[in-house]
With several copies, the nearest count.
Chain A
Amino acid sequence: MRAAITSAPIDAPALLREVAQPANGAAVLFLGTVREQNEGRAVTGIDYAAYERMAELELEKIVREACDQFGTEHVVAEHRIGHLDVGEASVAIAAAHPHRARAFEAARWVIEEVKIRLPVWKREEYVDGTREWVGNHAGTPSYEAADSRFPIPDSR
Chain B
Amino acid sequence: MTVTALLFASYADAFGADSVVLDLRPGATIADAVDALRSRPGGSVLPSSPLVAVNLVYADARDTLEHGDEVAIIPPVAGG
Contact A118 B76 (CB under 8 A): no
> Which residues of chain A have C-beta atoms less than 8 A from B49's C-beta?
147
Chain A residues numbered 1-56 whose CB sits less than 8 Å from any CB in chain B: 32, 48-51, 53-55
Contact B80 A119 (CB under 8 A): no
Using a Cβ cutoff of 8 Å, how many contacts connect chains A and B? Answer: 96
In the complex, the answer to whether A91 meets B59 with C-beta atoms within 8 Å is no
> Does A95 count as interface, using CB distance less than 8 angstroms?
no
A130 interfacial contact with B, CB 8 Å = no
In the complex, the chain B residue whose C-beta lies closest to that of A57 is: B56
Query: How many chain A residues touch B (Cβ–Cβ < 8 Å)?
Result: 40
Residue of A nearest to B12 (CB): A49
Determine whether the beta carbon of B80 is less than 8 Å from that of A156. Answer: no
Q: Digit string of B8-19 for contact with A (CB within 8 Å is 1, else 0)?
A: 111001000000
Contacts of A115 in B (CB 8 A): 77, 79-80
Expressed in whole angstroms, the minimum distance between the Cβ of A18 and any Cβ of chain B is 20
Give A135 to B78 CA distance when docked, in angstroms: 5
Enumerate chain B interface residues (CB-CB to A < 8 A). 6, 8-10, 13, 47, 49, 51, 53-60, 63, 72, 74-80
List the 8 closest pairs (A to B, CB-CB), nearest first: A120-B79, A121-B9, A143-B76, A118-B79, A133-B10, A135-B76, A54-B56, A150-B58
